[in-house]
Amino acid sequence: MNEGLDNKMEFRHIRPTAMRAIVLKLMMEKTAATSLPELENELESADKATLYRTLKTFEQNKLIHRINDGSGTLKYALCKDSCDCDVEDQHIHFHCTKCNGTFCLNDISIPKVILPSGFSLSGIDTVVNGVCSNCNNDA
């Protein structure tokens, strides 16, 4: 029943263990980015250190990417299947200040920046803060 998950991992050269399948499945079911403490709560059977290393492995092999949304806790979201985590794959993240949820906005082009001379650029992290559509509807 985990063929899809296992394929995803094997494609990224990650050994598909049961634990990793559980984490990946959970992350695929979410619309918002996840944090280590959040995974810890939802998967009580799993150890913090295991989850930490699972996320690290996923990140190193470009199955997920890390998001620093300013909430004080690192979050992680799935990469697209074709993701190479290079400039073309960069996208904006939206952080809801009400529900603390963080979402990838893949459709919005990332802003261009021209740096002062002497500076070289490797990537741009843009976090848009505001209120998401869910929270706006509740109000």
Partner DNA sequence: GTTCTTGCAAAATATTTGCAAGACG
Partner DNA sequence: CGTCTTGCAAATATTTTGCAAGAAC
Q: Which of 79, 76, 58, 59 is nearest to 67 (CA)?
A: 76
Partners of 65 in beta bridges: 77
46 interacts with, out of DNA, a copy of itself, none, CB within 5 to 8 A per kind: DNA
Establish if 31 lies at the interface with a copy of itself (CB under 8 A): no
Contact in structure between 59 and 66 (CB atoms under 8 Å) = yes
Phi, psi angle pair for 19, to nearest 5°? -60, -45
Q: Which residues contact 7 (CB under 8 A, 6 or more apart)?
A: none
Q: Which of DNA, a copy of itself, none binds 111 (CB below 5-8 Å, type-dependent)?
A: a copy of itself
Q: Which of 19, 110, 131, 135 binds DNA (CB under 7 A)?
A: 19
Phi/psi of residue 17, each to 5°? -95, 170
Q: What span, in angstroms and rounded, lies between the C-alpha atoms of 101 and 123? A: 23
- Of 48, 88, 136, 138, the residue at the interface with a copy of itself (CB under 8 A) is 136
Show contacts with DNA in window 55-74 (CB under 7 A): 56-57, 72-74
Is 37 among the residues that bind DNA (CB under 7 A)?
A: yes
| Region from 15-23, 25-33, 41-49, 125-133 binding a copy of itself, contact rule CB under 8 A | 125-133
Minimum CB–partner distance for residue 138 and a copy of itself (Å) = 11
- Binding residues for a copy of itself, rule CB under 8 A, total 35
